[in-house]
């Protein structure tokens, strides 16, 4: 190929799930990528400006990242994922993401469409995307397989590193939140930085064991059909006995979290706190709430 293209990747939403897969895949195909920087206030402001005011904070941040990339790259990667397993779903924002971006900016979007419930697997979707970029099926399939392996390796490493933390003699808190929230600079980082300041170990519920086939989530909720929430519930079941408390973090307004977190609070017997993040939630207020929560869970240590 003579005209080398660059694909922009917004550091938001699914990036935190698929960064290894995406970056390896495009790298294998010899395509340059540009990942937007950590969320900053400018990105957030531009996200707010370009979304309807009722949209959830996470979507606003995503749109802010697309805005950052739009004049810097040839294509922006915006996948559409409806379902990853039979009879399972993701939040509808992931179904709508592609069309929302297309209706917000005049940009070239490269996309792949996964809907396992309707028989479209991730692999099929990647092949189609690769073909749109002008590559042959074999080459794409090979790149996809290499990336999948790399993705697995990365996930396993992350998981094992997290397991190690469980045995440390420190106060530990499980952060139950989607990866795109817990890792975002203006959302989860505000929480985790504060927790670390108080010498609290943070266990991330979005770091999961890629080999886990057990449906632990059923102990909390039998009929749960949102994949990402299932993963978080699996983690709660796996980690709850190692930690001193749980922080439920969501952005407003989050459809699945609004119901599922309530279920967890009712079924999981563990000291917990729920934090909602809105456009510009005051960090001072969050700090105060976290501080008192830490006091509560540390106190338990003293008396038990």
Partner 1 sequence: MKNKAYLGIDIGSISTKAVIIDDNNNILTSEYIYTNADPINAVKTLISKLKNKFDYNSYKIVSIGTTGSARKLIGKMLGATIIKNEITAHAIGTINMHPDVKTILEIGGQDSKIILIDNKVISDYAMNTLCAAGTGAFLTSQAKRLNINIDDFGLIALRSKRPIKIAARCTVFAESDLIHKAQIGYKKEDIAYGLCKSIVNNYLNNVAKGKKILTPIVFQGGVSKNIGVIKAFEEELKQEIIVDDIGHLMGAYGIAIMSKKYEDDLKFSFNINEFKFETKVSECNKCTNNCEIVNIYKNKILVDRWGNRCENGLK
Partner 2 sequence: MNRKVISFPTLSDYNTPIKFILEKLTDYEVRPSKQITKDTLELGSKHSPEYACLPFKYTLGNYIESLEDGAGIILQAGGGCRFGYYYELQQQILTDLGYEFEFYSLTDNDVNGIRSIYNTFKKLNPHIKKIKYLYYLLLTFLMIYFMDKIDIYIRKNIGFEIHKGSFDRIKNSMLTKFSKTKGFIDLIKNYLYYKKRFINIPLDKPKNCIKIGIVGELYTSMQPHSTYFLERELANMNVEITRFTNVTFLLITKRFKEKYYLRKIKKYCKYTLGSDAMENIARAKILIDKGYDGIIHIKPFGCTPEIGGMKILENLCNDENMPLMFLTFDTNTSELGIKTRLEAFYDMLNMRRNNEK
d(CA 233, CA 224): 10
Judged by CB under 8 A, does residue 162 bind partner 2? no
Tell which residue, 174, 168, 172, has the closest CA to residue 200.
172
Strands 109-110, 172-176: pairing kind: unpaired
Shortest distance (Å) from residue 41 CB to partner 1: 9
Q: Which two tokens stand for residue 125?
A: 């979707």
Shortest distance (Å) from residue 59 CB to partner 1: 14
Q: 259-278: which residues touch partner 2 (CB under 8 A)?
A: 259-263, 266-267, 276
**The only residue of 76, 100, 143, 232 in contact with partner 2, by rule CB under 8 A:** 100
Judged by CB under 8 A, does residue 285 bind partner 1? yes
Q: Is the sign of the CA dihedral 155, 160, 34, 139 positive or negative? A: negative
**The only residue of 164, 282, 301, 304 in contact with partner 1, by rule CB under 8 A:** 282
Shortest distance (Å) from residue 164 CB to partner 2: 35
Q: Which does 133 bind (CB under 5 to 8 A by kind): partner 2, partner 1, none?
A: none
d(CA 208, CA 182): 14
Q: Which does 277 bind (CB under 5 to 8 A by kind): partner 2, partner 1, none?
A: none
Torsion angles phi and psi, residue 38, rounded to 5: -55, 145
- 178-186, 240-248, 258-266, 278-286 -> range binding partner 1 (CB under 8 A): 278-286
CA distance between the termini of the chain: 67
Judged by CB under 8 A, does residue 48 bind partner 1? yes
Tokens 């922080």, located at residue: 247
For residues 103 and 269, which CB has a smaller minimum distance to partner 1 in the complex?
Answer: 103
d(CA 43, CA 237): 35
- 32-40, 97-105, 192-200, 205-213 -> range binding partner 2 (CB under 8 A): 97-105
Shortest distance (Å) from residue 169 CB to partner 1: 35
Question: For residue 42, what are the CA distances in angstroms to 13, 39, 286?
Answer: 18, 8, 21
**The only residue of 98, 159, 198, 242 in contact with partner 2, by rule CB under 8 A:** 98
DSSP labels, 128-195:
HHHHHTT--HHHHHHHHHHHHHHHHHHHHHHHHHHHHHTTSSS-EEEEES-HHHHT-TTTHHHHHHHH
For residues 210 and 253, which CB has a smaller minimum distance to partner 2 in the complex?
Answer: 253
Q: Which does 2 bind (CB under 5 to 8 A by kind): partner 1, partner 2, none?
A: none
For residues 155 and 228, which CB has a smaller minimum distance to partner 2 in the complex?
Answer: 228
Tell which residue, 226, 214, 212, 303, has the closest CA to residue 263.
226
Question: For residue 108, what are the CA distances in angstroms to 8, 42, 50, 63?
Answer: 10, 22, 17, 14
**The only residue of 30, 40, 49, 136 in contact with partner 1, by rule CB under 8 A:** 49
Q: Contact residues for partner 2 (CB under 8 A)?
A: 51-52, 54-56, 80, 82, 87, 91-93, 95-96, 98-100, 102-104, 113, 221-226, 252-263, 266-267, 276
Contacts with partner 1, residue ranges (CB under 8 A): 48-49, 52-54, 278-282, 284-285
């Amino acid at each position: 190929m003579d005209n080398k293209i660059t694909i922009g990747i917004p550091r938001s939403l699914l990036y935190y799930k698929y960064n290894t897969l995406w970056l390896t895949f495009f790298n294998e195909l010899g395509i340059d990528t540009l990942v937007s920087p950590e969320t900053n206030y400018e990105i957030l402001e531009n996200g707010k400006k370009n979304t309807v005011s009722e949209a959830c904070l996470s979507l606003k941040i995503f749109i802010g990242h697309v805005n950052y990339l739009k004049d810097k790259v040839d294509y922006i990667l915006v996948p559409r994922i409806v379902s990853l397993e039979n009879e399972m779903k993701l939040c509808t924002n992931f179904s709508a993401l592609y069309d929302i971006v297309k209706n917000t900016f005049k940009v070239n979007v490269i996309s792949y469409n996964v809907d396992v419930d309707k028989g479209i697997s991730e692999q099929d979707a990647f092949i189609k995307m690769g073909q749109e970029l002008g590559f042959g099926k074999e080459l794409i399939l090979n790149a996809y397989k290499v990336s999948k392996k790399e993705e697995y390796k990365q996930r396993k490493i992350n998981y094992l590193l997290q397991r190690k933390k469980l045995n440390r003699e420190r106060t530990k808190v499980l952060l139950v939140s989607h990866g795109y929230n817990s890792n975002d600079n203006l959302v989860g980082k505000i929480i985790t930085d504060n927790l670390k300041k108080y010498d609290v170990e943070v266990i991330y519920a979005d770091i999961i064991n890629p080999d886990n086939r057990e449906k632990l989530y059923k102990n909390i909720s039998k009929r749960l059909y949102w994949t990402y929430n299932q993963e978080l519930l699996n983690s709660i079941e796996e980690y709850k006995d190692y930690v001193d408390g749980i922080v439920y973090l969501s952005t407003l307004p989050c459809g699945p979290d609004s119901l599922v977190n309530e279920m967890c609070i009712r079924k999981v017997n563990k000291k917990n706190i729920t934090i909602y993040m809105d456009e510009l939630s005051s960090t001072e207020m969050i700090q105060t709430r976290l501080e008192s929560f830490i006091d509560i869970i540390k106190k338990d240590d003293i008396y038990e």
